[in-house]
Amino acid sequence: MNPLKRLTGVLAAALCCLGITAPLSATSPVVPPEYRDYSAYIYFVNTSSLDLFVEAVMDEEECGKVNGSFAPEVFCVEAGDAVRTTLMVIGEDNKASCVPHLLIKSLRFYDLATGAVAGEIAVTEGIFTEAVEFAQGAYDHPYKLTITDDLLGGAE
C-alpha cells in the first residue's frame, strides 16, 4: 500500500473513532460512579449572559411511584456566578427505597431582568457534565450543571 493511501486509511480510522466516541463523551456524565447511589447536592455554574431565576419543578415519589407534585424550589444565580444549592439529585438506592423523596423533573429559567422564561430543560443525569472536587478531595457536589446561552437557547 502506498504511504498516501496508508495515511488516508489511518486518518479515516481516527475520524471514525472520533465520530463514535465524541457524542458519547459529550453526553456521558463524569459523576463518579461510586456517588450515583447516593443523593447529592447540585452545583450550578451560570456562564450564560443572563441573570437567572431558577425554578425546579419536582415530584414527590415513594416506592417508585409518584405521590404528587411538590412546590417548586426556587433560587437565583446571576451571570458568572457559581452556587451550591440544596437541590438534590436522588441516588439510585434512595430512589428505590420507600422513603418519600423529591425528584427534580425539570428546571425552568427566567430572565431576572425581564421576568420572561429564558428556557426549560428536563432533568436527567446526562445534563450533569462534570464532577466538582472540593476540599480534601471529597466530591461534596458531584453533580454540576453549567448553564450556557446554548443550553438556554436550545431549551426555548
Partner 1 sequence: MKMITRVALVLAAALALVLCACWPIGSCYDTDTVRVYNDTSREVFYQYYYKARVGSGAPLAYTPEGGAVIPPGGSVEFDYTDREHNGSYYVVEKLLLVDAASHRLLRRMDSAEYYAALVHQEPVVDTTSDPGTEITRRYYDLRLTEDFFLQTGQ
Binding mask 101-120 for partner 1 (x = CB under 8 A): ---------x-xxxx-----
Tell the smallest beta-carbon distance from residue 55 to partner 1 (Å). 8
Tell the smallest beta-carbon distance from residue 41 to partner 1 (Å). 10
Q: Nearer to partner 1 by C-beta: 6 or 84?
A: 84
Q: Nearer to partner 1 by C-beta: 9 or 80?
A: 80
Residue 80 binds to partner 1 (criterion: CB under 8 A): no
**Rounded CA separation 95/154 (Å):** 29
Tell the smallest beta-carbon distance from residue 148 to partner 1 (Å). 19
Among residues 9, 18, 84, 98, the one that binds partner 1 under rule CB under 8 A: 84
Closest-CA residue to 85 (of 93, 76, 97)? 76
Three-class secondary structure assignment of the chain: CCHHHHHHHHHHHHHHHHHHHHHHHHHCCCCCHHHCCCCEEEEEEECCCCCEEEEEEEEEEECCEEEEEEEEEEEEECCCCEEEEEEEECCHHHHHCCCCEEEEEEEEEEECCCCCEEEEEECCHHHCCEEECCHHHCCCEEEEEEECHHHHHHHC
Size of the site for partner 1 (CB under 8 A): 19
Q: Nearer to partner 1 by C-beta: 89 or 118?
A: 118
Site for partner 1, residues 48 to 67, rule: CB under 8 A: 51, 53
Give contact residues for partner 1 (rule: CB under 8 A).
43, 51, 53, 73-78, 81-85, 110, 112-115
